[in-house]
Copies of this chain bind each other. A is one copy, B any other.
Amino acid sequence: MPATKTRDLEAILNRLRERKMRVTKNRERVIGALLTAEKPLNAEQIRERGDLDLVTVYRNVEAFEQAGVLQRIPLENGTQIFELTAPDEHYHHLVCRECHQAERLDVCVGEEMRKVAKANGYSHIAHVLEVYGLCRECVEDNA
């Protein structure tokens, strides 16, 4: 793993330690898989890349989400993919509905949504904004 990824890994592990979570080989593998992928992965992809039990993957992405170092991205078909994020950051994505490649978008409507939701009497607000399309490669493959 390149030096910069090693630093990222350490930063995340420290975050876990702060939260009194144990640093295990499995957890390093989950994080390593996501770091080296450089794109969001689904549970099965994490399992495969990290040589992990699928249950361990699910339990750990859940734990990481709680710890604020990971974000879930819902796909159009109801499944989800996972991505590492700095604590208190969150992103939106442009996702290919064919190959599920996903890239970050540089837009966020968080403040606006929060305002509207509060006006309607809602609290504990979160929002999901994902854009789905066909990436260039998949359009060509289909042609």
Contacts and interface: CB of A to CB of B under 8 A. Distances in A.
Interface of A: 74, 76, 78-80, 94, 96-97, 103, 105-107, 109, 112-113, 116-117, 120-136, 139
Of all A-B residue pairs in the complex, the 4 with the closest CB atoms, nearest first, are A122-B133, A125-B133, A121-B136, A127-B131
Number of copies: 2
Contacts of A139: 123-124
Contacts of A117: 94, 131, 133
Contact of A130 (B103, B105, B116, B127): B127
Contact of A126 (B80, B106, B133): B133
B129 A127 contact: yes
